[in-house]
Amino acid sequence: MKAIIGLGNPEVKYLKTRHNIGFVVVDKLLEKNSVTLSEKFQSFFGKKGDVLYLLPKTYMNLSGRAVVELMNFYKLTVRDFIVICDDFTLELGTLRFRKNGSDGGHNGLKSIINLVGSSDFDRLKIGIGPLIENMPVENFVLGNFREDEKEKLDKITTLAAEAIEEYLKTDITNVQNKYNKKHF
């Protein structure tokens, strides 16, 4: 069993923000695989076969709460899930798979690491940068993508969804070698 966890914020006002790119990728996977969501584990939750899909409703800073509930219910370890999140230090159009690592200043990852007690889980970071000069990070990540970025956004989120499907069939090393770069 493998869980795909997309990070974002649940309110409509955050729907198209940079911080919600994890939700966007999981939504593409849900649509492609005809997965219906219910509310469970403080999240929007779906299951198809041995794949679990989780979109925490706890807000970014408390994402770990939902992840722990899912782990406890399904008896998952940190090696049984992958987290999809934004990274403002990477340029839009860039994907970066990692086997583990620090939170890198990302509050969603920080919450998960703190509450599951480990940073040894797979993750896919999707570039949303570059950060606009003199703009506070919070304003940037909670801002919407510009009109001129939307085509690239659609391409990279579609590619990220394809990469996650390949990850499920192969492993993290394979997708790192194939996808860790700027694509668009």
Catalytic residues, by residue number, are 19
Nearest to 141 by CA among 82, 61, 81, 27: 61
**Count of CB atoms situated within 10 Å of the CB of 34:** 8
Burial of 51 (0-12, 13-18, 19+ CB in 10 A): middle
Q: Which residues, in sequence order, are bridge partners of residue 127?
A: 87
Alpha helix segments (H runs only) across 117-183: 137-141, 150-169, 172-179
